[in-house]
Amino acid sequence: AQKITQTQPGMFVQEKEAVTLDCTYDTSDPSYGLFWYKQPSSGEMIFLIYQGSYDQQNATEGRYSLNFQKARKSANLVISASQLGDSAMYFCAMREYSYQAGNKLTFGGGTRVLVKP
Amino acid sequence: ETGVTQTPRHLVMGMTNKKSLKCEQHLGHNAMYWYKQSAKKPLELMFVYSLEERVENNSVPSRFSPECPNSSHLFLHLHTLQPEDSALYLCASSQVDTNEKLFFGSGTQLSVL
């Protein structure tokens, strides 16, 4: 069974508007972490935001915020005031942690965002 | 200087060639990873090295051979690849025993002819 699901393969968003990218996950581990990465056409995966399973408040990083609904096992990314440079692929990932192997991230299939001027 | 550097950026090889991908991290991390990103598929974890020891090998074919000579360098040796091995190969690093994020390089776009 897929651990990370991103149901939106692609989205258009108008510049300066907000966009929400969906992510649901599946784990029986009470301790886990959720990440969002951005991948522009250059290929590099750029870290955006992190939410720990025990964090009481939703994470925020500048224009990025994570809508964490633990009971629903969802961790949606909200990008406010979209900019043209936000056009990229966005990946949700879940951390499984072990001392030996460090942070193992399992990725979703990604959502392609295209910001329109 | 970027945190994780991968070379080459692009590689085209025949099925009988032998080539190597190189990754170097300047972040003082002690774990390094190889991921494969194929078109229309999620990123797949291939190998994990922690404290210079391989701790994960996700059923990767033997035509892919990783090497981690020290905590800053990671190689992926390629031989007799197949066209379906064409993909973006991403290297990442992290610090073991913390919850820190993975830092990724820009990847090597590999095409096997």
pLDDT single digits (tens) B45-71: 999 898 778 777 778 999 999 999 999
Are residues B96 and A4, on separate chains, in Cβ contact within 8 Å?
no
Q: Which two tokens stand for residue A38?
A: 């951005």
Q: State the Cα–Cα distance between residues A19 and A67, nearest whole angstrom.
A: 12
Tens of pLDDT, residue by residue over A41-88, are 888 899 999 999 999 899 999 999 999 999 999 999 999 999 999 999
- Other Cβ atoms closer than 10 A to B71: 17
Chain A partners of B55 at a C-beta cutoff of 8 Å?
Answer: 100-101
B85 vs B13: CA distance, rounded Å: 11
CA distance B12 to B9: 10
Kindly determine whether residue A101 and residue B55, on different chains, have CB atoms separated by under 8 Å. Answer: yes
Q: How far apart are CA B104 and CA B2, in angstroms?
A: 10
Three-class SS state of B39: coil
Q: Which residue of B has its CA nearest to A32?
A: B99
Does residue B88 carry a pLDDT above 90? yes
Share of chain B above pLDDT 90, in %: 70
Phi/psi for B83 (5° steps) reads -55, -30
Cα of B80 to nearest chain A Cα, Å: 25
Q: How sure is the predictor about B40, in pLDDT bands with cuts at 50, 70 and 90?
A: confident
**CB nearest B42 (choices: A44, A101, A107):** A107
- CA–CA separation, A12 and A18 (whole Å): 11
Q: Is some CB atom of chain B closer than 8 A to the CB atom of A104? A: yes
Q: Cβ–Cβ of A104/B56 closer than 8 Å? A: yes
Q: Do B43 and A44 touch (CB under 8 A)?
A: no
In this predicted structure, the answer to whether residue B72 has a pLDDT above a threshold of 70 is: yes
Q: What are the φ/ψ torsions at residue A86 (nearest 5 degrees)?
A: -80, -10
Looking at residue A99, its pLDDT comes to 67
Q: List Cβ neighbours of B40 (8 Å cut-off, separation of 6 or more).
A: A109
Whether the predicted pLDDT of B2 surpasses 70:
no
Q: Is the pLDDT of residue B1 over 80?
A: no
DSSP string, A72-107: TTEEEEEE-S--GGG-EEEEEEEEEEETTTEEEEEE
Question: What is d(CA A35, CA A97) in angstroms, rounded to the nearest whole number?
Answer: 13
Q: Do B104 and A44 touch (CB under 8 A)?
A: yes
Which residue among B90, B96, B101 sits closest to A35, beta carbon to beta carbon? B101
Contact assessment for residue B23 and residue B74, using Cβ atoms and an 8 Å cutoff:
yes
A101 CB neighbours in chain B (<8 A) are 31, 48, 50, 55-56
Beta-bridge partners for A37 = A47, A91
**Chain A residues in contact with B71 (beta carbon < 8 A):** none
CA distance A54 to A60: 15
The pLDDT of residue B105? 94
Chain A interface disruption, residue of B27, B56, B98, B104, most A CBs within 10 A: B104
Range with lowest mean pLDDT among A7-11, A57-61, B39-43, B83-87: B39-43
N-terminal to C-terminal alpha carbon distance within chain B: 33
Of A90-104, B25-39, B83-97, which gets the smallest average pLDDT?
A90-104
Q: Looking at residue B106, what is its pLDDT?
A: 92
